[in-house]
């Protein structure tokens, strides 16, 4: 009988410890993934953070400064001085370079109410391991999804 109690005790403790062991395995997987991500960064020069200048082919539209981050799994984060808010999107490598798309919300200047969103699509090429150029469009939509305006834009990124 004593053997059965010990076995049950061990099994119950093992059952309680199993989730913790699983978390340990996940942490090890995350560390391994982070390590392999560092290797991919050498193979994929777009990964990382970039100081970006955006210019527009629209009259009276001043250039904007931006900060972009291209992270693993094709995720994009960015912010421009024009939007002042977080932009979210995706990126992918192509045979000629790379492409990225993102969206950010637009707000009214007077009361800060949401008035729509901007969707950006760009295709680019690397100038070097520390710089790239891209061009494409930014399209503004109202809150109902109606297109308001499309503007051609160009971006130049420098790694920092």
Tokens of 115: 């008035």
pLDDT at 42: 52
pLDDT at 109: 84
Tokens of 55: 């210019």
Q: When comparing pLDDT for 1 and 132, which is higher?
A: 132
Three-state SS for 9-46 is HHHHHHHHHHHHHHHHHHHHHHHHHHHHHHHHHHHCCC
Percent of the chain with pLDDT over 90: 62
Distance CA 87, CA 84 (A): 9
DSSP state of 24: H
pLDDT, tens digit (0-9, with 9 covering 90-100), for 104-153: 999 998 888 999 999 999 999 999 989 999 999 999 999 999 999 999 99
Q: Read off φ and ψ for residue 129, nearest 5 degrees.
A: -70, -15
pLDDT at 125: 96
Q: How far is CA 86 from the centre of its chain?
A: 10
Instruction: Using DSSP, state whether 136 is helix, strand or coil.
Output: strand
Nearest to 99 by CA among 118, 125, 119, 77: 125
Q: When comparing pLDDT for 16 and 102, which is higher?
A: 102
* Region of residue 141 (phi > 0: left; psi between -120 and 50: alpha; otherwise: beta): beta
């Amino acid at each position: 009988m004593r053997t059965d109690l010990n076995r049950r005790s061990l099994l119950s403790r093992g059952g309680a410890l199993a989730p913790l062991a699983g978390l340990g395995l996940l942490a090890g997987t995350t560390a391994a993934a982070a390590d392999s991500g560092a290797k991919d960064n050498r193979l994929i020069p777009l990964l990382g953070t970039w100081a970006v200048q955006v210019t527009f082919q629209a009259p009276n539209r001043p250039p904007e400064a931006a900060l972009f981050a291209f992270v693993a799994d094709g995720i994009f984060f960015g912010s421009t001085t024009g939007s002042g808010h977080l932009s979210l999107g995706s990126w992918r490598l192509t045979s000629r370079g790379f492409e990225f798309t993102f969206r950010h919300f637009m707000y009214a200047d007077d009361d800060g109410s949401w008035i729509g969103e901007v969707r950006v699509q760009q295709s680019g090429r690397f100038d070097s391991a520390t710089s790239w150029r891209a061009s494409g469009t930014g399209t503004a939509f109202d809150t109902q999804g109606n297109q308001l305006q499309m503007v051609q834009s160009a971006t130049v990124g420098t790694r920092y």
